[in-house]
Amino acid sequence: MRVAIVGMGYVGLVTAAGLAEWGHEVLGIEANPERLDVLRDGRLPIHEPGLDGLIARHLAGHRIIFAADARQISSVEVAIVAVGTHDGNGGWQTDTIRRCLDDIVPRLADDAVLVIRSTMPPEFLPSLAGLVDGLRAAAGRPPLPVMINPEFTREGTAVQDFLFPDRVVVGIVRDDFGAGARTLGTMYRSVDAPFITMPAPDAVLSKLGSNLFLATKISFANELAALCDEYGADVSAVVDAMGRDPRIGPSFLRAGVGFGGSCLPHQVTMTIHSAAQRSLDTPLLRAVDTINHGQRTAFVDRLAAALGGSVSGRRIALLGLTFKPGTDDLRDAPALSIALSLLDRGADVVAYDPMATAREATRRILPALTVADDVWSALDAADAIGLVTEWPEFVQLDWARARSVTRGAALVDGRNALDPSTITAAGFRYSSFGRMSAPLRIPLEAEHSRRRVSDGRFGAPVLRTAVD
């Protein structure tokens, strides 16, 4: 089957590699000339485990070709739109999808199927069929089947998630004779998972709902961690016991500095915002967002508490910059807002991340932050360590050696990733989220009462602003 994918970002590239792996011929269209040069050179503009090998192999076998524009699109059976929908400012934008439709829709063959894979704002949906029909009519051509095919892949495991999905969701915008669903059924014939067709609004909300639920689980775990701190329980043990109930499940209940990345935070805030514009309140999602940002503030407060009340003038080693391990993505990474907040409070911060491209990008984004090129330089003479991303390099670090190079013994684990007994045995004073360690109990009680006084429940908006 011949498939075109417009937009060679995370979603488009993974889709291209996966479809080529299943034997389809893929035309990857990328308008950014620098990105296109990198791709044609057999390199990748992003880090995604396993993706480079697949792209290289299928480029060499001519199963994938990259193009700068849509001129060759008239020969494909499926055209997939995978362009960005972020406005770069925390909001949605649909201008890129619209431009892309202007460009490709008039050129598509009369038996082609148009698929939108970009995560889109639900309010864009009602205008979609009319937009496509209008472009087809203006070109003197018949209407096309228009489908939604949301992706559920995670950065870091996106290739596996694409090749072995839990489900394939296909939303029908317009498919008068069922050709769209049949064609996509053929495109996904290698998949051994439920192929679910549904009306387009259901598909869009299935995608959003999945991410909103994952975000809710994480914020729930973080509120539970605060309860565990309060009552002297260990949240890891509590979640382990809870997660054995199949109605609950163990995943996405790890407490810490909260969720980052380009998907969860943005989709939570934009859903709140979009619903509010329609006079629909979303109190649960507002709480999810508030709790999530409160975690970043709580992390900075914990570092301050571990240093006797203030980070000013103290040297802090920040371990991890990316929003999670296995990626070089810094979009809405908790580490960046935490670093900013620490710098604002007068700390001397030295950060390190195992991903060289993330270190380079951080130097550009936050020139005031010192970024070390190895973990030992970051730890050297540090008064406190803050772990923000649970890279294996940090989990497996020689912590006794680490203690021999740091000046102070404070360590705050923002991902509950380290083994408290190993860290304590190495000579550190260990603190994490919901696994209360005795020495920090008194300063943290002060922190709790301040949060209660300041906003009564979820963490002070003032503190949140400081970290945002």
Q: Which is nearer to ligand UGA, 354 or 443 (CB)?
A: 354
Q: Which is nearer to ligand UGA, 365 or 405 (CB)?
A: 365
Nearest Cα neighbor of 429 from 309, 318, 303 is 303
* CA–CA distance, 222 with 446 (Å, rounded to integer): 19
As measured in angstroms, the least distance from the Cβ of 448 to ligand UGA is 21
Would residue 228 show up in a list of annotated catalytic residues for this protein? no
Q: Which is nearer to ligand UGA, 165 or 443 (CB)?
A: 165
Q: Residue 468: how many CA atoms within 13 Å on its side-chain side?
A: 15
Q: Which is nearer to ligand UGA, 105 or 358 (CB)?
A: 358
Q: Which is nearer to ligand UGA, 153 or 236 (CB)?
A: 153
As measured in angstroms, the least distance from the Cβ of 217 to ligand UGA is 7
Residues 6 or more apart whose Cβ sits within 8 Å of residue 438 = none
Residue type, 206: S
As measured in angstroms, the least distance from the Cβ of 218 to ligand UGA is 4
Q: Which is nearer to ligand UGA, 27 or 208 (CB)?
A: 208
Q: Residue 320: how many CA atoms within 13 Å on its side-chain side?
A: 28
As measured in angstroms, the least distance from the Cβ of 365 to ligand UGA is 17
Q: Which is nearer to ligand UGA, 167 or 407 (CB)?
A: 167
In whole angstroms, what separates CA 42 from the centre of its chain? 25
As measured in angstroms, the least distance from the Cβ of 332 to ligand UGA is 8
As measured in angstroms, the least distance from the Cβ of 152 to ligand UGA is 4
Q: Which is nearer to ligand UGA, 212 or 385 (CB)?
A: 212
Residue of 215, 263, 272, 349 marked catalytic = 263
HEC string of the chain?
A: CEEEEECCCHHHHHHHHHHHHCCCEEEEECCCHHHHHHHHCCCCCCCCCCHHHHHHHHHHCCCEEEECCCHHHHHCCEEEECCCCECCCCCECCHHHHHHHHHHHHHCCCCCEEEECCCCCHHHHHHHHHHHHHHHHHCCCCCCCEEECCCCCCCCCHHHHHHCCCCEEEEEEECCCCHHHHHHHHHCCCCCCCEEEEEHHHHHHHHHHHHHHHHHHHHHHHHHHHHHHHHCCEHHHHHHHHHCCCCCCCCCCCCCCCCCCCCHHHHHHHHHHHHHHCCCCCHHHHHHHHHHHHHHHHHHHHHHHHCCCCCCCCEEEEECCCCCCCCCCCCCCHHHHHHHHHHHCCCEEEEECCCHHHHHHHHHHCCCCEECCCHHHHHCCCCEEEECCCCHHHHCCCHHHHHHHCCCCEEEECCCCCCHHHHHHCCCEEECCCECCHHHHHHHHHHHHHHHHHHCCCCCHHHHHHHC
As measured in angstroms, the least distance from the Cβ of 2 to ligand UGA is 25
Strand order in the sheet with 410-413: 370-371, 348-352, 315-319, 384-387, 410-413, 429-431
Token pair, residue 136, equals 């087809």
As measured in angstroms, the least distance from the Cβ of 351 to ligand UGA is 16
As measured in angstroms, the least distance from the Cβ of 32 to ligand UGA is 20
Binding site for ligand UGA (CB under 6 A): 119, 151-155, 211, 214, 218, 252-254, 256, 258-261, 263-264, 323-324
Residue type, 273: H
Q: Which is nearer to ligand UGA, 119 or 236 (CB)?
A: 119
Q: Which residues are catalytic?
A: 263
